[in-house]
Amino acid sequence: MGRKREASDFLYPAAAIVLVLAAWESLTRLGAAPSYALPAPAEVAVALVQQWPMLMSNAVSTTVAIVSGFALSVVVGIALAVLISSSRIFEKSLYPLLVGSQAIPKLALAPLFVVWFGFGLLPKVIMTFLIAVFPIVVSTVQGIASVETELEFLSRSMGLSPYRTFRMIRLYRALPSIFAGLKVAITLAVVGAVVGEFVGSDRGLGTLLLRAIGVVNTPLLFAGLIVLTVLAVVLFGLIELLERFAIPWHVSQRSRV
């Protein structure tokens, strides 16, 4: 049963990719769109091979921005969630501000970050942080709040201090929700880094996409999108792998459903 499940984890995505490629190839052969708008898969593959060093160089720059902004969002997001969960004052003062901040279009902030921080890594990291931090805060707060009251009563009866009760019970039991937020946040971090590169960077996959659009090099554009997609999937997979090591009991329960 376990081997069948592991095999299906690879077979289903592979089948979906084959279907997408087949549909893509059919559209190009039928002339559904001109080649400058929708290049054939073979043209994209050629661009991937020919421009591989440039794609990888820009992918490294984007990955550094993603990981840096994501790491910052994890530290700040969990800290804010702990404050919100521990104090009604912080909940009433910080939570509405966090929710309201999501109404601000992040793309509109990107030019300001360039003015304030200049070109380079810092504007991309800040943009990534702003986009990724919110789901971490919300999921962590929700996870901490969902811990059974009986467990807290049990910990108090055993003489645990409030700090140890929070660390060993509330925070630990909230880990499934925290990891759910991390998996959402890592995909948003990829978007945040690319948005930052659109405006405030001279390197990265986002910058490469803009240049490809500017010269109407759609095979290179699609090649960049493929690399960006693979990067997002790999980072998501790393978070899932970390989840398996951190809370194997939750992963095993989920796999039985």
What pLDDT is stored for residue 36 in this prediction? 73
What pLDDT is stored for residue 30 in this prediction? 74
Instruction: Tell if the pTM clears 0.85, that is, is over it.
Output: no
Q: What is the pLDDT of residues 47-106, one digit of tens each?
A: 899 889 999 999 999 999 999 999 999 999 999 888 888 778 877 888 788 877 777 777
Stated length of the chain: 257
Q: Which fold has domain 39-256?
A: MetI-like fold (1.10.3720)
The full 3-state SS of the chain, as one line of letters, equals: CHHHHHHHHHHHHHHHHHHHHHHHHHHHHCCCCCCCCCCCHHHHHHHHHHCHHHHHHHHHHHHHHHHHHHHHHHHHHHHHHHHHHHCHHHHHHHHHHHHHHCCCCHHHHHHHHHHHHCCCHHHHHHHHHHHHHHHHHHHHHHHHHCCCHHHHHHHHHCCCCHHHHHHHHHHHHCHHHHHHHHHHHHHHHHHHHHHHHHHHCCCCHHHHHHHHHHCCCHHHHHHHHHHHHHHHHHHHHHHHHHHHHHCHHHHHHHHHC
- Average of per-residue pLDDT values in the chain: 81
What pLDDT is stored for residue 162 in this prediction? 61
Residue 34 CB contacts under 8 Å (≥ 6 apart), including other chains:
none
Q: Let me know: does 213 contact 251? Beta carbons within 8 Å.
A: no
Q: Let me know: does 194 contact 207? Beta carbons within 8 Å.
A: no
What pLDDT is stored for residue 234 in this prediction? 94
**Better-scored residue on pLDDT, 7 or 138:** 138
**Better-scored residue on pLDDT, 125 or 32:** 125
Q: Which of 94-98, 169-173, 225-229 has the lowest mean pLDDT?
A: 169-173
What pLDDT is stored for residue 59 in this prediction? 92
**Better-scored residue on pLDDT, 239 or 89:** 239
Q: What is the pLDDT of residues 186-219, one digit of tens each?
A: 999 999 888 888 877 778 888 888 888 888 888 8
Region 177-192: mean pLDDT is: 91
Q: What is the pLDDT of residues 150-169, one digit of tens each?
A: 666 666 666 666 666 666 67
What pLDDT is stored for residue 145 in this prediction? 79
**Better-scored residue on pLDDT, 252 or 243:** 243
